[in-house]
Structures are given as structure tokens and as C-alpha cells.
């Protein structure tokens, strides 16, 4: 394996996050990342920040309890950096303090309007970014960075940077990977030709059991729960089908399932924590998600629809699935299914 390095742009609210920024930067350096970012912003520094974002592999937003310095437009510099990273389709990961209100009063914005902007920006990140992780202590932050930045390399692989003297090794590895890819494509082709290796189709009322994790909140604290859940294939098609009416990136399988589990998970949590009042951070088991996707493909409900400009695999519901979604058949099947 080549010795690669990755460039990470760090965006924070400013001086209030200096201790966390030091921990973040030190941890990233220890993992082989180059960290960039501007600690002090001015109107003149915006163009420089954008050049850094253009050249980086990943963008990390570190959010505490302040909205931060604002540009002349009234939008915070951290907020502007987030917007620019989104427009450039950069992989974004957010580490935010779990309970901003518990932080020292000196670390909060003094003006009410800034506090409101902070709350709105925090909510925007929670809803708009797939990879959002919370921390309470510096040790929590370090562990979260170590684990989740490694996961980012797998979920959102990028070219990175390799020392010039290693370019021949890079070419050799590319050729090796191409050969392996050709072998795998040949094997997959043979398997698809063999009907005995295909998954059997499932009926609409047949249940599928899977596991997922969530954060459940009770009495001012949260606990991570491991939940076993059962949904019929009719329910799963109803949850996922409308997301893929048009060609949509593969990552939206997990995004939509996790949204659904956040929306419906409170009842699941209350079986374990009766006084739970909210849930968040639901994450379906990766293997279960893969099985759902493959089964929907086998049932002729979804089909591959090429790749987008970021080379992400696109999926789309078939005409068969769209007719099921438009009819009342799914409602009839779910009505007959005991919960």
C-alpha cells in the first residue's frame, strides 16, 4: 500500500475553539493528514480560504457554541466556508459539541441574534451533512476524529498525495488493481449467468429483520442503543422507493434509511428507556443495508443508472416499482402486516 497523505481544511468559529482545534490538528497529523485552515478571517482572507478548499481532500467543521466572526454580508465565515465546500462537492465531516449550552458562558455569542444564527447553522449541519459526530470532552473529540476520519477514507476515497519518488509504485498499483477489477468483473459475470447463485425474490408481506444503532435521550443524558427491527418489504419499498424516482447516488440508501429510523425510532427506544424523549444519530447496520439494496435489485425494484460527475454509482426505481408506489397495493400489504 502506498504511503498517501490527505489534505484537510479545518473550519471553526474562531478563537473560542482554539483548544479543540489544537487537539484536532494534532490528531490529524498523527494519522497522516495535512491540516489547513484560517484561524483569523478578514474579507481579504476569503479568497485564500476558497483556494485551500479547492485543493483539499476533505473539509472538517468543528462547531462549539458560537456562530463566529461574520462577513460584511452578515453570514459567518465558517458558514461561508461550509457553503463553498458544498458547492465544490467536497466530502464534509462535522464534529460538534454535544451540549453547547453546557459550555462556559464566555464561549457563547453575546448578541441574541448571533445565538439564533448559531442554532440555525447547527440545525443546518445536522440535516445537511451525512457525517456528523458529537463530542463532550477533548478525549471524546480525539477518539471521534481517529475513528471517523479513517472511515471517511473508505466512504469517500480521494486521490490524496504521494511522494514524487513513489509515482512508479503508484502506476504499478494501478495496473495491479486494474487486473483485479477485470478478474472480479469476469467472476461477477459468471455468477450472474448462474441462476442458482441469484437471490430468491421476496414477497411484499415478508418481514426483514435488521439491526441499527441510535442515540436515545432521557433525563438530560443520552445512551447509544442497539435495536433489532423488523419491516416488511412493502414498508422498505415505501421508505426507499420515492428517493430513487430519478437517478440518485448510492449513498442515499443509507441517508434515507437513517432519516426514517430517526423519524420512527422513539417507540423503539422507549422499549428500553421508557422515559426517552428524543432520538438521533440512527445508523443502520451496513451489511443489512447492503442486503436490502441487493434484494430490491433482485425484485426488479431498482436498477443501476450510470454514474454522476463524481463517479458515484446512481440508482433508479424501475417502472415496476413506480407502479407499486403509485398504486394502493403497498398500503393494503402494510395494513395486513402486524407491527
Our measurement of the distance from residue 27's CA atom to the centroid of its chain's CA atoms, rounded to an integer in Å, reads 21
Between 305 and 184, residue with greater pLDDT: 305
Q: Predicted confidence band at 338 (pLDDT cuts at 50, 70, 90)?
A: very low
Average pLDDT for 199-223: 89
pLDDT tens, residue by residue, 301-313: 999 998 887 778 8
Average pLDDT for 24-50: 86
Average pLDDT for 220-247: 92
Q: Residue 101 in 3-state DSSP?
A: helix
Task: Answer whether residue 328 shows pLDDT above 80.
Answer: no
Q: Predicted confidence band at 2 (pLDDT cuts at 50, 70, 90)?
A: very low
Average pLDDT for 289-311: 89
Could you give the C-alpha distances from 141 to 16, 94, 95, 131, 322, in angstroms and in order?
A: 16, 11, 8, 14, 44
Closest residue by Cα to residue 57 from 163, 149, 164, 160: 160
Asked which of 66-70, 85-89, 162-166, 289-293 is least confident by mean pLDDT, the reply is 162-166
Bridge partners (DSSP) of residue 307 are 313
Task: Answer whether residue 169 shows pLDDT above 80.
Answer: no
Average pLDDT for 248-263: 93
Between 189 and 132, residue with greater pLDDT: 132
What's the pTM? 0.51
Q: Which residue has the cell 408481506?
A: 205
Task: Answer whether residue 162 shows pLDDT above 70.
Answer: no
Q: Specify burial of residue 56 (Cβ count, 10 A radius: 0-12, 13-18, 19+).
A: buried
Q: Predicted confidence band at 103 (pLDDT cuts at 50, 70, 90)?
A: very high
- The count of other CB atoms within 10 Å of the CB of residue 76 is 23
Distance CA 24, CA 96 (A): 12
Task: Answer whether residue 231 shows pLDDT above 70.
Answer: yes
Could you give the residue ranges of the DSSP H alpha helices within the chain?
A: 18-30, 46-55, 77-87, 112-128, 138-155, 167-193, 233-240, 252-270, 286-298, 319-326, 329-336
Task: Answer whether residue 173 shows pLDDT above 80.
Answer: no
H/E stretch holding 232 reads strand 221-232
**Average pLDDT of the residues of the chain:** 86
Amino acid at each position: 500500500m502506498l504511503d498517501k497523505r490527505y489534505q484537510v481544511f479545518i473550519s471553526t468559529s474562531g478563537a473560542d475553539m482554539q483548544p479543540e482545534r489544537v487537539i484536532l490538528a494534532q490528531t490529524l497529523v498523527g494519522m497522516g493528514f495535512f491540516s489547513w485552515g484560517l484561524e483569523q478571517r478578514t474579507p481579504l482572507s476569503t479568497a485564500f480560504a476558497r483556494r485551500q478548499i479547492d485543493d483539499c481532500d476533505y473539509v472538517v467543521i468543528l462547531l462549539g457554541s458560537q456562530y463566529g466572526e461574520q462577513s460584511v454580508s452578515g453570514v459567518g465565515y465558517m458558514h461561508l466556508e461550509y457553503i463553498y465546500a458544498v458547492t465544490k462537492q467536497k466530502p464534509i465531516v462535522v464534529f460538534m459539541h454535544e451540549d453547547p449550552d453546557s459550555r462556559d458562558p464566555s464561549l457563547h455569542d453575546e448578541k441574541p441574534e448571533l445565538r439564533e444564527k448559531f442554532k440555525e447553522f447547527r440545525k443546518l449541519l445536522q440535516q445537511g451533512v451525512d457525517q456528523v459526530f458529537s463530542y463532550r470532552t477533548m478525549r471524546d473529540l480525539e477518539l471521534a476524529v481517529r475513528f471517523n476520519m479513517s472511515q471517511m477514507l473508505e466512504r469517500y476515497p480521494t486521490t490524496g498525495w504521494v511522494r514524487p519518488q513513489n509515482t512508479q509504485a503508484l502506476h504499478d498499483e494501478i495496473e495491479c488493481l486494474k487486473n483485479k477489477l477485470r478478474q472480479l468483473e469476469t467472476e461477477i459475470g459468471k455468477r450472474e449467468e448462474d441462476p442458482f447463485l441469484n437471490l430468491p425474490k421476496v414477497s411484499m408481506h415478508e418481514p426483514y429483520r435488521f439491526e441499527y444503532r441510535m442515540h436515545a435521550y432521557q433525563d438530560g443524558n443520552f445512551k447509544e442503543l442497539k435495536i433489532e427491527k423488523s419491516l416488511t418489504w412493502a414498508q422498505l419499498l415505501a421508505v426507499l422507493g420515492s428517493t430513487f424516482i430519478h437517478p440518485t447516488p448510492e449513498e442515499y440508501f443509507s441517508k434515507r434509511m437513517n432519516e426514517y429510523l430517526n423519524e420512527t425510532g422513539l417507540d423503539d427506544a422507549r422499549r428500553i428507556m421508557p422515559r426517552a424523549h428524543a432520538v438521533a444519530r440512527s445508523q443502520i447496520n451496513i451489511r443489512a443495508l447492503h442486503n436490502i439494496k441487493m434484494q430490491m435489485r433482485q425484485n426488479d425494484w431498482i436498477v443501476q443508472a450510470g454514474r454522476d460527475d463524481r463517479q458515484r454509482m446512481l440508482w433508479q426505481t424501475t417502472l415496476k416499482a413506480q407502479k407499486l408506489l403509485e398504486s394502493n397495493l403497498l398500503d393494503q400489504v402494510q395494513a395486513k402486516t402486524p407491527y
